[in-house]
Amino acid sequence: MTTVEDAYAHCTRITREQARNFHYGIRLLPPAKRSALCAVYALARIIDDIGDDLARSSEAKLQGLAEVRKSLAELSTSTDPVYVAVADAARRHPIPLGAFEELLDGVEMDVTGREYVRFEELVEYCRCVAGSVGRLCLGVFGSRPDAAAPGYADELGIALQQTNILRDIREDLRNGRVYLPKEDLNRFGVELAIGADGNLADPGGGLTALIHDSAARARDWYTRGLRLVPFLDRRSAACCTAMSGIYRTLLDRIDEQPSRVFDRRLSLSGREKAVVAARALTGIGR
């Protein structure tokens, strides 16, 4: 039988090994909240991995997502360590478990190959796959009572997902996915393609211009989402600021030189992430 302690330890290992950016913020939390957020991350990771598994057929992915839904419905009786940890975390913190259902909805959009014509449609997707995670995190953080706080958490998650989309244009295209709205591609005269050299093609500079425009729009979402920070206690605020700071720094790098994402999956070094986290903890973070 899996003990709660073993379950949390299992989730902590998953987070340490796979949360390349979030782990820098999570470790700023006090132990109880850190463990709870690791449990949330571990389940979100399971869901994401199903959608990203190139070895699975679409039917198998949808079946896997359905099995997660079933496990969520039977959370209190599960013996799987991730679900055991999530169940305990939900007893200790006001975690909105329904947000996992939204995350599942968003991953199903990936599996079924949904296309995005307008930016508003992309926002709906971002709200499912990332706004949901923002609200799950808020459940662990806790906040001063305010009806606006979940909305701010939602907007911050959407900002982070917009950054992910700009970072991963090439990788997503190679996997048959396009998240940039068709109206934006048409407005800048962009036809996404990978050249003979394996890099994103940008013969007329339209893609570069689109990335600049999209980065400016994403910054507006960060501004809106970071209104959450004053509602959090110091350690939770530091965690939130560190995680968002890493992604905002990444967005700045992309905006400074969009061609950085034409041939690679851009990331910050471990040292750079640690500096952002340290500034967040000392209140220097942006």
pLDDT above 60: residue 217: yes
- Phi/psi of residue 38, nearest 5 degrees: -65, -40
Q: Which residue has the higher pLDDT, 66 or 144?
A: 66
Q: 């599960």: which residue's tokens?
A: 78
DSSP, collapsed to helix, strand or coil, labels residue 53 as coil
pLDDT tens column, 263-275: 999 999 999 999 9
Averaged over 243-259, what is the pLDDT? 97
Q: Give kind and range of the element (H or E) at residue 39.
A: helix 31-52
Q: Which residue has the higher pLDDT, 85 or 21?
A: 85
What type of residue is 143? S
- What per-residue confidence (pLDDT) applies to 201? 96
Averaged over 140-169, what is the pLDDT? 95
Architecture of domain 4-282: Orthogonal Bundle (1.10)
Work out the angle at residue 135's Cα, subtended by the Cα atoms of residues 115 and 7, and round it to the nearest 5 degrees.
Answer: 105
Count Cβ atoms below 10 Å from residue 157 Cβ, excluding itself.
27
pLDDT above 90: residue 211: yes
Q: What share of the chain is helix, strand, coil (3-state, %, to 5)?
A: 70, 0, 25
181: its two tokens: 């709205």
| Alpha-carbon span 236 to 30, nearest angstrom | 9
| Alpha-carbon span 123 to 131, nearest angstrom | 9
What type of residue is 266? L
- What per-residue confidence (pLDDT) applies to 286? 45
| Alpha-carbon span 91 to 81, nearest angstrom | 15
Mean predicted lDDT score pLDDT of the chain: 95
End-to-end, the C-alpha distance of the chain in Å comes to: 45
- Look at residues 83, 209, 67, 92 and name the one whose alpha carbon lies nearest to residue 142: 92
84: its two tokens: 């055991």
Beta bridge partners of 200: 194
| Alpha-carbon span 20 to 270, nearest angstrom | 9
Count Cβ atoms below 10 Å from residue 98 Cβ, excluding itself.
12
Averaged over 203-227, what is the pLDDT? 97
Q: Structural domain boundaries of the chain?
A: 4-282
Which regions of the chain does DSSP assign to beta strands (E)?
A: none
- Look at residues 74, 98, 63, 21 and name the one whose alpha carbon lies nearest to residue 276: 21
pLDDT above 70: residue 151: yes
- Look at residues 36, 41, 33 and name the one whose alpha carbon lies nearest to residue 16: 41
pLDDT tens column, 56-98: 999 999 999 999 999 999 998 999 999 999 999 999 999 999 9
pTM of the model: 0.94
- What per-residue confidence (pLDDT) applies to 2? 82
Q: In this structure, what DSSP letter does residue 201 have?
A: P
- Give the rounded percent of residues in the chain with a pLDDT score beyond 70: 99
pLDDT above 70: residue 170: yes
| Alpha-carbon span 251 to 263, nearest angstrom | 16
